[in-house]
């Protein structure tokens, strides 16, 4: 049976599309065909294009793995004469373009060309969310209260809306942050306006039912909270809460049903099998010996000055510092490893089957950051505290001599905002939400192993987001982190795609 076409708007690095593209029917054929992914950010577009190239093969060619390992460059991979049709396919699918009021006619034409007359198709995507996020709103209002009201990103969903009105997809899926539900413009909830527009996108006769994936189909009406998907309930090792809307054209006699609960997975489950890395020392002083000396110095400092109340933490820090002496690797673009002996916990087997590519023989995008010596001490303390107390340390739990030397930190330690400025991801719980802010600093994403004394790598963040290990992120490291933080978890998208497929291809 012919695959269902998919158009992806505001695609980011392609997490939502990856979930749709990964589904196969009983004969092993793809259920969905990603026809077009539109993204304006250059590094994310390059990631999209590379993934489109990979998906154009039944199995990735050897040259793709050579590229991941740095044996050949991207131009050599794409210019290989054997892969001409694959390259052209990827360039058609991944479009580096910005959706805006002035470009709508161009987009309309390109979408029409990509669909090639398809009637059964799905529109997916997530308009940029900074204007709706609680943090983004707080920052804009604190700097200039009128800036928030004037932010054009509130209305980027209208570009999505116009595609619906122009091309009438049987089904659409739109994702955004939970803050969309409480965001207001002119004193009115913007979610009510978005929902109303999606139900009647052309303002005339085109009608859609907009339903959630996490509430029963039998409800006559839905509360805004019904549209929130709490990812940790569906086998995702991350407490990511997002609004996901499913629009069904009124003449389509189907409903997607509800997502099925999944096994509760933790950070430990997600990071299983990844090579341990030491962090780097910033300031040009880095070496394994200098790094280990800095870690040991932090452990001795808390032993000497921490007092009786921190004795158990100091003991754990000392043990971690001893283990740290065996770590020398800081990672890189690709780390060769043998995966044959890896055995994840039984509860995480399906997750690791999703991650694993037996031809990869290594891990890409796994490289540690550089940290100041004082931050190494804070990471060592925070991760040791979490191991001993089974809870993350707040700034109020830090000894005075480990606090950053600025007023905000001391105010936070006294009970002010941002008291969780140094946040460890707990081993036995889902991670906190991975967001694009991870690109700016790692303080909110400290690795649970105190011996490693660092923030999460791009690959570790990608594991929490459920990207397969052979999914390579282009750009510099900051751009890679941003892409991962902005993405929809592919394994969650896969579950959503299965529900959508049953609507369009009922058994």
Count of Cβ atoms closer than 10 Å to residue 365 Cβ: 26
Tokens representing 104? 């709508």
- Extract the tokens encoding 299: 């452990």
Return the SS3 of 30: strand
CA distance 313 to 293: 19
Contact 232, 239 (CB under 8 A): yes
CB-CB contact of 133 with 179 (8 Å): yes
Q: Active site includes 31?
A: no
How is residue 505 written in tokens?
A: 């291809």
List the one residue out of 187, 186, 207 whose CA is nearest residue 197: 207
CA distance 36 to 93: 4
- What whole-number distance in Å separates Cα of residue 179 and Cα of residue 429? 23
CB atoms within 10 A of CB 49: 23
Of the residues 31, 129, 246, 453, only one is catalytic, namely 129
Distance CA 249, CA 246 (A): 10
Report d(CA 297, CA 301) in Å as an integer. 6
Task: Report helix, strand or coil for 470.
Answer: coil
Q: Give the integer Cα–Cα distance in Å for 22 and 87.
A: 20
Mark 408-422 as b/e (b = at least 16 C-beta within 10 Å).
ebeebbeeeeebbbb
Residue among 48, 43, 39, 50 nearest 78 (CA): 50
**Which two three-digit tokens encode residue 176?**
């955004």
DSSP string across 64-130:
HHHHHTTSS-HHHHHH-GGGHHHHHHHHHHEEE----GGGHHHHHHHHHHHHTT-SSEEEEE----T
Active site residues: 129
């Amino acid at each position: 049976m012919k695959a269902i076409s998919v158009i992806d708007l505001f695609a980011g690095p392609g997490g939502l599309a990856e979930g749709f593209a990964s589904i196969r029917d009983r004969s092993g054929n793809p259920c969905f065909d990603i026809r077009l992914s539109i993204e304006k950010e250059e590094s994310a577009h390059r990631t999209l294009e590379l993934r489109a190239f990979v998906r154009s093969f039944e199995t990735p060619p050897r040259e793709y793995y050579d590229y991941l390992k740095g044996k050949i460059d991207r131009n050599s991979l794409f210019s290989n004469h054997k892969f001409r049709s694959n390259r052209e396919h990827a360039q058609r699918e991944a479009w580096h373009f910005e959706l805006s009021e002035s470009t709508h006619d161009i987009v309309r034409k390109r979408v029409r060309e990509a669909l090639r007359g398809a009637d059964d198709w799905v529109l997916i995507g997530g308009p940029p969310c900074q204007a709706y996020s609680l943090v983004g709103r707080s920052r804009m209002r604190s700097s200039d209260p009128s800036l928030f009201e004037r932010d054009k990103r509130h209305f980027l969903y209208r570009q999505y809306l116009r595609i619906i009105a122009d091309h009438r997809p049987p089904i659409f899926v739109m994702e955004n942050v939970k803050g969309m539900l409480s965001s207001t413009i002119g004193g009115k909830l913007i979610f009510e306006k978005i929902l109303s527009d999606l139900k009647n996108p052309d303002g005339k006769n085109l009608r859609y039912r907009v339903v959630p994936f996490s509430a029963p189909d039998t409800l006559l009406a839905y509360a805004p909270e019904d549209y929130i998907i709490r990812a940790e309930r569906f086998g995702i090792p991350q407490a990511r809460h997002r609004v996901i809307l499913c629009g069904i054209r009124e003449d389509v006699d189907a409903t997607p049903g509800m997502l099925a609960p999944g096994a509760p997975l933790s950070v430990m489950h997600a990071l299983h099998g990844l090579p341990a890395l030491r962090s780097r020392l910033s300031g040009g002083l880095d070496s394994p010996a200098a790094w280990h000396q800095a870690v040991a110095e932090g452990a001795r400092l808390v032993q000497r000055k921490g007092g009786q109340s921190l004795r158990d933490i100091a003991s754990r820090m000392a043990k971690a510092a001893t283990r740290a002496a065996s770590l020398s690797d800081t990672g890189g673009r690709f780390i060769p490893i043998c995966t044959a002996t890896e055995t994840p916990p039984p509860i995480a087997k399906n997750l690791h089957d999703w991650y694993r590519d037996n031809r990869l023989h290594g891990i890409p995008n796994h490289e540690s950051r550089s940290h100041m010596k004082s931050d190494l001490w804070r990471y060592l303390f925070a991760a040791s505290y979490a191991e001993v107390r089974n809870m993350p340390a707040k700034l109020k739990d830090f000894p005075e001599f480990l606090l950053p030397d600025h007023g905000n930190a001391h105010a936070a330690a006294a009970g002010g905002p941002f008291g969780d400025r140094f946040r460890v991801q707990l081993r036995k719980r889902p991670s906190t939400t991975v967001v694009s802010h991870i690109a700016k600093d790692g303080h909110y994403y400290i690795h649970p192993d105190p011996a490693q004394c660092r923030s999460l790598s791009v690959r570790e963040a990608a594991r929490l987001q459920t990207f397969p290990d052979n999914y390579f992120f282009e750009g510099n490291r900051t751009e890679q982190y941003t892409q991962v933080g902005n993405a929809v978890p592919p394994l969650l998208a896969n579950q959503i795609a299965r529900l959508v497929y049953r609507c369009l291809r009922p058994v």
